[in-house]
Structure 1
Amino acid sequence: MKSDLKKYEGVIVPMVTPVNDNYSIDKNGVKNIIHSFIDAGVLPFVLGTTGEVASLSTDQKTALVKEAVNVVDGRVPLLAGLAGNSMLQTIDEAKRYADLGVDALVALIPNYYPIEDKHALNWFGKLADNVSLPMFLYNIPATTHHSISLDVIEKLSHHPSIVGIKDSENNQARLEESLERWSSRNDFLFLVGWAAMSSFGLKRGANGIVPSVANLIPELYSSLFKAAQNKDFDEAERLQELTNKISAYNQKGRTISGAIPALKALMSLKGLCGTQVMPPMLQMEPEELKAYLGEMENKILNLA
């Protein structure tokens, strides 16, 4: 499983989950978004935080993965997230996604009971023992309320099924130490999940970036990654500043529960998907949405 990991390097986008007003999966939205990703040269990652994974039913998840696999049609690797507090259910989901045709899994830590290092090692170790696909760890304390320690990650990094980590913890000292530990490894990928530090991480050897706003502007993040690959870090920093500015359109002053509905609203301006979100998140009230889209329309449509 640790061979051919280069196909997972680059820009991996935690895809929003487009849903209809009755909460069924919006297949046209899935098609629009994934086509925009492939055109921009980035990879889709379904069932992540931006994909509202914790709010989706088993049937919704299955329908989303089926449609994503169908649209991707083997053209690029497809990643799917695993989130839950039941080991057996999570293993079942991993097996289902593998059978449906995804290429790799991205696993969160449970978020209900207090977690110590020994619990994290046991959880991820048992999960990795029971999956048939390459598996990335996923650290995002903002939603799980747990931080996977670097020592735990180091131990898990030698498991034959565990091929990398997406780390979304906003902690620069941790990011720097992570890059010192793993940027030279060929069998373990480090993906920067803190979008504002994309250029910083790539300059120091990160294998890829996982920015949520790439749902809206995949081509800009693709260009940022290519600039870093070419060691044109002035251009990478310019694009970092630009993407940070655009990210603020939906994130500034909002929690995740407000940023995702705002992101879908911005994507609706480009005809990518609708504005519906899954409870407990809420769409903007009609007047607020109208004012927001009116303010943002020219900014978004003139990005090109």
Structure 2
Amino acid sequence: MKSDLKKYEGVIVPMVTPVNADYSIDKKAVGKIINSFIDAKVLPFVLGTTGEVASLSPSQKTTLVKEAVDAVDGRAPLFAGLAGNSILQTIDEAKRYTDMGVNALVALAPNYYPIEAKHALKWFEKLADSVTLPLFLYNIPATTHHSISLDVVETMSHHPNIVGIKDSENNQTRLEESLERWASREDFLFLVGWAAMSAFGLKRGANGIVPSAANLIPELYAGLYEAAKNNDFVEAERIQGLTDKVSAYNQSGRTVTEAIPALKALMSLKGLCGTQVMPPMLQMEEAELKAYLDEMENKILNLA
């Protein structure tokens, strides 16, 4: 399970979930987005936070995974997220996505009941014991309201089925300690889920980055990663500045509930998907959307 982990390194993009006005999966858009990732040599990750995983029905998830597997067509590893409060349902989803052809799983902690480290440990142990694919932990307290302790991560990092963590907690002390613990591990990958710290993390040994704005600018993040891989951190920092600027177009002053609709709006300018989102998220009002797209059109279409 822990051999050949290099294929899971790099830029992993938490893909938006394109949906039609009736909330069905926009299959054509799935193909467009996946192909834009493959062309940029970045890796797709469906059913993450940016993919509105908590708002999708089981049938929507199944359709999305099927379409993503078909679109990838073996050209890159495909990651799929697991989010829920039922361990049995989560295990069932893991098995279903495995049978459908995904290559790695990414699991959140449960988020309904308040939990402590001992609860998270047992949850991830039960899940890891039940899967047959490489499993990444996913720490994002902004949505789960629980921070997976570094000691729990350390314990689970030695489980034969757990191969890494995507950490999206905006905590520099935690990030630095995580890199000190795991940057030198060949059997456990550390993925930076805090996009603004991509170059910082890569310089200190992170194995990859997971930036939501790569839905819009995958080629820039691919360039950032390649520069870091070549130890050209002057160039990596230069590109980091560019990506931060683009990220601000949809994130600055917005909560995640507002940033994802804005990201889809920006992607619509490139013909990648529509602007529809799943409740409880809301599309921008017509006048606001028009003003936003008028303001952003030249900026987005002229990106390098």
For 1:122, the equivalent position in structure 2 comes to 122
Does residue 159 of structure 2 align to residue 159 of structure 1? Answer: yes
For 2:59, the equivalent position in structure 1 comes to 59
The Cα of 1:60 is off from its aligned counterpart by 0.0
Match of 2:170, SS state, is coil
For 2:150, the equivalent position in structure 1 comes to 150
For 1:106, the equivalent position in structure 2 comes to 106
Does residue 131 of structure 2 align to residue 131 of structure 1? Answer: yes
The Cα of 1:148 is off from its aligned counterpart by 0.2
Per-residue CA shift, 1:17-75, capped at 9, x if unaligned?
00000000001110000000000000000000000000000000000000000000011
Does residue 241 of structure 2 align to residue 241 of structure 1? Answer: yes
Identity %: 83
For 2:76, the equivalent position in structure 1 comes to 76
Query: d(CA) in 2 for partners of 1:146 and 1:29?
Result: 33
For 2:225, the equivalent position in structure 1 comes to 225
When normalised by structure 2's length, the TM-score is 1.00
When normalised by structure 1's length, the TM-score is 1.00
Query: d(CA) in 1 for partners of 2:244 and 2:57?
Result: 32
Query: d(CA) in 2 for partners of 1:25 and 1:219?
Result: 25
Per-residue CA shift, 1:179-226, capped at 9, x if unaligned?
000000000000000000000000000000000000000000000000
The Cα of 1:114 is off from its aligned counterpart by 1.0
Query: d(CA) in 2 for partners of 1:114 and 1:55?
Result: 20
What RMSD, in angstroms, separates the aligned Cα atoms of the two structures? 0.3
Query: d(CA) in 1 for partners of 2:254 and 2:60?
Result: 26
Count the aligned residue pairs.
Answer: 304
Query: d(CA) in 2 for partners of 1:299 and 1:212?
Result: 18
Q: Which amino acid aligns with 2:152?
A: V
Does residue 240 of structure 2 align to residue 254 of structure 1? Answer: no
Per-residue CA shift, 1:105-138, capped at 9, x if unaligned?
0000000111111101100000000011000000
Match of 2:66, SS state, is helix
Gaps of 5+ in 1: none
Query: d(CA) in 2 for partners of 1:243 and 1:149?
Result: 29
For 1:12, the equivalent position in structure 2 comes to 12
Match of 2:111, SS state, is coil
Query: d(CA) in 2 for partners of 1:303 and 1:242?
Result: 10
After TM superposition, the structure 1 = structure 2 runs for residues 160-239 of structure 1, keeping only pairs within 5 Å, are: 160-239=160-239
Gaps of 5+ in 2: none
Match of 1:75, SS state, is coil
Moved beyond 3 Å, runs of 4+: none
